[in-house]
Amino acid sequence: MTETWMILGATSGMAQALTRDLATRGAGLILAGRKTADMQAIAADATARGAQAVQVLTYDARDNATCDALVAAAEAAAGTFNLAVFVGSMPQQSAIDADPDLIAGTITDSLSGPAHLIHRLAPLMEARGTGVIVGVGSVAGDRGRLSNYVYGAAKAGFAAYLSGLRNRMARKGVHVMTVKPGPVDTPMTYGLPPMPFQTSPEKVSAAILHGVARRRDVIYVAPIWRLIMMVIRALPEALFKRTRF
């Protein structure tokens, strides 16, 4: 086996698409998340598609003790060890307004939880001098917006974390790629009003594999979102605070 991928948040719609693509090229897989039964079904499907040595491990971003087994699995991984992080939660901003206790969990799921695990895996990957870390952020992190600024703050923090990590790891042969999807048709967006330039989990997976192969630093899916967010970021605050974007 030439590569093993740890998929953090393996039940995510996007993660499942990437898992299918990695399985068909015969990768080793470590699926990590909260829902064991769902991950077992994903693992069975991946094995049928050609994945090697598929493991299922419990991971909860709000419980750092669950990282111990993941670190051990990474140490034992065959071939190049790679990590893809899909964990994140997006409570409605109105729900957060009614219950500010939701803020801490939102930040933990997208930022401090995954960062804790990555920080434990980083020395191992540096010692190997190879591998890729893919972190899924969001265009929501590019500017705090009325509709989801707590989620956006978590994703902005994760993007800043990945930027510094990229600088650190590049010196040791490990590549870090930040993924910024616009709206994607997954359980996270189920029931929300239709959004412009929405894409599919399969297209996100294809973009991730394309970006990893070319060692891109930051990718937007769909690419139009890079331009849209450039314009949004350039709006003066005096104007931006009158928008409902």
Ligand X SMILES: NC(=O)c1ccc[n+]([C@@H]2O[C@H](COP(=O)([O-])OP(=O)(O)OC[C@H]3O[C@@H](n4cnc5c(N)ncnc54)[C@H](OP(=O)(O)O)[C@@H]3O)[C@@H](O)[C@H]2O)c1
Contact footprint for ligand X (CB under 6 A): 9, 11-14, 33-35, 59-62, 86-90, 109-110, 136, 138, 181, 183-184, 186-189
| Residue 108 CB-density burial (10 A; 0-12 exposed, 13-18 middle, 19+ buried) | buried
CB closer to ligand X out of 93 and 189: 189
* Minimum CB distance to ligand X smaller for 80 or for 96: 96
> 119-131 b/e with 16+ CB inside 10 Å = b?
eebbeebbebebb
β-strand partners of 177: 134
Residue of this chain nearest to ligand X (CB atom): 88
CB 85 within 8 A of CB 70: no
Token code pair at residue 216:
């891109």
Least distance from ligand X to the Cβ atom of residue 105, Å: 7
Residue number with CB closer to ligand X (87 or 122):
87
Is residue 157 within 8 A of residue 150, CB to CB? The reply is no
Q: Give the nearest distance from C-beta 148 to ligand X in angstroms.
A: 10
For ligand X, which is the closer residue by CB, 178 or 186? 186
Sign, CA torsion 158/229/202/21: negative
Backbone angles phi, psi at 241, to 5 degrees: -75, -10
Q: Please, what is the minimum distance in Å from the beta carbon of residue 154 to ligand X? A: 8
Q: How far is the CB of 92 from ligand X (least distance, A)?
A: 13
Residue whose tokens read 């930051």:
218
In whole angstroms, the minimum distance from the beta carbon of 9 to ligand X comes to: 4
Nearest distance from C-beta of residue 236 to ligand X, angstroms: 25
Q: Which is nearer to ligand X, 5 or 86 (CB)?
A: 86
Nearer to ligand X, 30 or 80 (CB): 30
Could you give the maximum distance between any two Cα atoms of the chain, in Å? 55
